[in-house]
C-alpha cells in the first residue's frame, strides 16, 4: 500500500479563530476513525485531507501528494462523502448523478451507464435509476451519494458520518460492504460502536488530538469522558 495520510504540524484558522492546532498524524492503516464531539474539528480535518482547502500552517500529504495543490490527481485518488447529501447532489435523476463521477474520469456514457445499473442492481435499487433525486428521502440521498463515491473506486475514501441518516439494515449492509473494500477508509463518527473494528482511532477535542491508537485503547477513554460530560447539565467549558 502507499505511504498513507501524513499530517505534519497542521493548523487551520478562519478569520483569526484557530480551529485546528498543530496536528501531526501518520495514518497508514486501512480503516481509520475520527471521533470527537460536535464542533471539535473533525470535518475540518477531513476537508484538509481531501484538499478542499489548504492548511494555514503545516503540511498534508496523501499518498505523497499535497491534496490541495494537486486537485486533478486527487480527483481519482480521493472520494469524499459529506454529511449533508444536498451539498453533493447536482443532477435531477439518480442515474445521472451516479454516472457523473465516472464521466468526469473519462469513461464513455455507455460504459458509465452500465456500471451505474450494475451497482443499482447489486444494491437492490434498480428501480431508482430514472427516479428524480428529489423523490428520495434524506437517508436514501445519503445512500445515493455513497454509491456515487464507491463507483469511482478511489484509493482513499473520506466519509463524514456515513451511518448517521441510514436505517439499521442499510447500515449493516454498508458496514459489510466497507469491510470488503481494499481501499483506505477514513470515517468520522460520534458513535464508538460503529468504529470498533477500525485499525486506528483519532480522538479530536477542541481542535487537538486528545488521543490516538487502537480502538481498545482509545474508545474506553473516549466513552468514559462522554459519559462524564453527559452527566453535567451544560457545557460550561465551551461557553463563549
Ligand X SMILES: Nc1ncnc2c1ncn2[C@@H]1O[C@H](COP(=O)(O)OP(=O)(O)OP(=O)(O)O)[C@@H](O)[C@H]1O
Among the listed residues 4, 29, 41, 162, the single contact to ligand X using CB under 6 A: 41
Instruction: Say whether residue 6 binds ligand X (CB under 6 A).
Output: no
Cβ neighbours of 97 (radius 10 Å) = 21
Check: CB of residue 79 under 8 Å from CB of residue 46.
no
Q: Which is nearer to ligand X, 4 or 207 (CB)?
A: 207
Q: Report the site for ligand X in 94-153 (rule: CB under 6 A).
A: none
Single residue of 27, 31, 40, 67 touching ligand X by CB under 6 A: 40
d(CA 51, CA 32): 18
Q: Around Cβ 233, how many Cβ atoms within 10 Å?
A: 5
Tell me which stretch binds ligand X (CB under 6 A): 14-22, 141-149, 169-177, 191-199. Answer: 14-22
Residue 235 has φ and ψ, to the nearest 5°, of -85, 70
68 vs 117 by CB, closer to ligand X: 68
Considering the complex, state which of residue 38 and residue 236 has its C-beta at the smaller distance from ligand X: 38
Contact status: 55 vs ligand X (CB under 6 A): no
Q: How far is the CB of 219 from ligand X (least distance, A)?
A: 17
Cα dihedral sign, 191-216-201-30:
negative
Tell me: does residue 189 bind ligand X (CB under 6 A).
no
Residue 83: partners with Cβ closer than 8 Å, 6 or more residues away: 43, 160, 161, 164
Residue reference for cell 468520522: 188
Residue 42 binds to ligand X (criterion: CB under 6 A): yes
Our finding on whether 159 is near ligand X (CB under 6 A) is no
Radius of gyration for the chain, computed over Cα atoms and rounded to the nearest angstrom:
18
Pick the piece of the chain touching ligand X (CB under 6 A) from 38-46, 74-82, 120-128, 215-223: 38-46
Sign of the torsion formed by the C-alpha atoms of 98, 5, 199 and 38: negative
Smallest separation, CB 86 to ligand X (Å): 15
Binding region for ligand X (CB under 6 A): 14, 17, 19, 36, 38-44
Amino acid at each position: 500500500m502507499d505511504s498513507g495520510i501524513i499530517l505534519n504540524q497542521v493548523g487551520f484558522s478562519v478569520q483569526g479563530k484557530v480551529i485546528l492546532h498543530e496536528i501531526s498524524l501518520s495514518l497508514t492503516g486501512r480503516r481509520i476513525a475520527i471521533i470527537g464531539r460536535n464542533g471539535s474539528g473533525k470535518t475540518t480535518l477531513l476537508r484538509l485531507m481531501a484538499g478542499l482547502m489548504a492548511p494555514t500552517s503545516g503540511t498534508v500529504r496523501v499518498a505523497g501528494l499535497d491534496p490541495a495543490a494537486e486537485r486533478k490527481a486527487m480527483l481519482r485518488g480521493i472520494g469524499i462523502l459529506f454529511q449533508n447529501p444536498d451539498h453533493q447532489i447536482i443532477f435531477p435523476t439518480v442515474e445521472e448523478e451516479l454516472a457523473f463521477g465516472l464521466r468526469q474520469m473519462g469513461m464513455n456514457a455507455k460504459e458509465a451507464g452500465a456500471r451505474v445499473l450494475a451497482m443499482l442492481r447489486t444494491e437492490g435499487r434498480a428501480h431508482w435509476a430514472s427516479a428524480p433525486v428529489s423523490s428520495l428521502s434524506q437517508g436514501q440521498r445519503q445512500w445515493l451519494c455513497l454509491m456515487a463515491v464507491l463507483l469511482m473506486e478511489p484509493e482513499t475514501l473520506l466519509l463524514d458520518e456515513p451511518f448517521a441518516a441510514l436505517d439499521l439494515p442499510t447500515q449493516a449492509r454498508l458496514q459489510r460492504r466497507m469491510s470488503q473494500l481494499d481501499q483506505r477508509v477514513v470515517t468520522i463518527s460520534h458513535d464508538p460502536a460503529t468504529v470498533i473494528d477500525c485499525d486506528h482511532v483519532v480522538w479530536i477535542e477542541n481542535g487537538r488530538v486528545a488521543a490516538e491508537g487502537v480502538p481498545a485503547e482509545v474508545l474506553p477513554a473516549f466513552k468514559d469522558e462522554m459519559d462524564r460530560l453527559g452527566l453535567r447539565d451544560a457545557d460550561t467549558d465551551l461557553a463563549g
